[in-house]
Amino acid sequence: MADNIPGSRKTSTPALVPSTLGIVCVDFDGTLVDSQHPTDQSVHPSLVRLIERLRSEGVLWVINTGRTLEGLKIGLEIAALPFTPDYVITEETSLLVPAPDHPDGWDTHGDWNLQRDLAFRSLLAESGHVFEEIRTFVTRQTQARYLARTDGTGGLDEIIAASEAEMERICHRIEEVRRAHGADPLGYQRNTIYLRFGHRGFQKGSTLARLGTSLGIPAERIFAAGDNLNDLPMLDPEVAGWLACPGNSHPLVRETVQRHGGYTARSHTGEGLTEALRFFGFGG
């Protein structure tokens, strides 16, 4: 089927016109930049030009990443973008807006982060025994590192596995423990050998959706793109009407984007995003 071929053109023409685009939201590592590249972690020039033009037309530019704010700032500095994002989502759940007077240069947007912290704390209080059971398994039966973050502010415990195969085994165990305890709100975001526990109600998708709601921009006016498993919650038609992934994406991400009628680019990272935006008619 042509739609399953990376970079293939869909037969139907997108119904929306460029002026309806409200938000371009992209993941950072592996989507905006090739963070594994030894020397070049810049944003592809074609994408820089395109985003600059879209921003001049009022489209908001949002980065949605698993990085911490400090980590993202470093990445942005290396990427040497000529403009600051209008909003960023860090650690998949922290919604921030530029604030030149703030010591960090960024401030929280609305009460989403507060809601998340409260949800995390109540999850910790209710599911401490579940975390403990998983922690015992990880420390005794795997080579992975278990990083405990006790107060829940900004994030929950993390695991760094020795290999992707080991992370598969850990995820399998987490699912077993979750099922045994009925710990429904307990979720996690996994990216290769990294895993961060979270609350099912707070991930890249729900955070982007909240941003859209707060700005009066509905899902059908949002473009979202990502390359890895932690991007799946935002690669959802309920969150964004325009979905895309670069050519270097995880197979499950490609499959998800195709299933939702999105665009899987042939080119990698930023160049792939330009390809996708042009396909949807936003290329000018």
- Residue 133 interacts with Mg ion (CB under 5 A)? no
Stretch that binds Mg ion, among 26-34, 38-46, 114-122, 258-266 (CB under 5 A): 26-34
- Residue 34 interacts with Mg ion (CB under 5 A)? no
* Minimum distance of Mg ion from residue 37's CB (angstroms): 13
* Minimum distance of Mg ion from residue 77's CB (angstroms): 18
* Minimum distance of Mg ion from residue 100's CB (angstroms): 28
- Residue 30 interacts with Mg ion (CB under 5 A)? yes
- Residue 92 interacts with Mg ion (CB under 5 A)? no
* Minimum distance of Mg ion from residue 231's CB (angstroms): 6
The 3-class secondary structure across the chain, one letter per residue, is: CHHHCCCCCCCCCCCCCHHHCCEEEECCECCCECCCCCCCCCCCHHHHHHHHHHHHCCCEEEEECCCCHHHHHHHHHHHCCCCCCCEEEECCCEEEEECCCCCCCEEECCCHHHHHHHHHHHHHHHHHHHHHHHHHHHHHHCCCEEECCCCCCCCCCEEECCCHHHHHHHHHHHHHHHHHHCCCCEEEEEECCEEEEEECCECHHHHHHHHHHHHCCCHHHEEEECCCHHHHHHCCCCCCCEEEECCCCCHHHHHHHHHCCCEECCCCHHHHHHHHHHHCCCCC
Query: Which residue in the shown chain puts its C-beta closest to Mg ion?
Result: 30
* Minimum distance of Mg ion from residue 16's CB (angstroms): 26
- 127 or 264: whose CB is closer to Mg ion? 264
- 127 or 256: whose CB is closer to Mg ion? 256
Count of residues of this chain found to bind Mg ion when the rule CB under 5 A is applied:
5
- 127 or 248: whose CB is closer to Mg ion? 248
Pick the binder of Mg ion from 22, 24, 26, 27 (CB under 5 A): 27
Stretch that binds Mg ion, among 19-27, 50-58, 128-136, 171-179 (CB under 5 A): 19-27
- Residue 270 interacts with Mg ion (CB under 5 A)? no
β-pairing, 194-199 vs 222-225, is unpaired
- Residue 29 interacts with Mg ion (CB under 5 A)? yes
Looking at the DSSP bridge assignments, the partners of residue 222 are 23
* Minimum distance of Mg ion from residue 180's CB (angstroms): 31
- Residue 227 interacts with Mg ion (CB under 5 A)? yes
Stretch that binds Mg ion, among 24-32, 114-122, 125-133, 165-173 (CB under 5 A): 24-32
- Residue 228 interacts with Mg ion (CB under 5 A)? yes
Residues contributing to the site for Mg ion (CB under 5 A) = 27, 29-30, 227-228
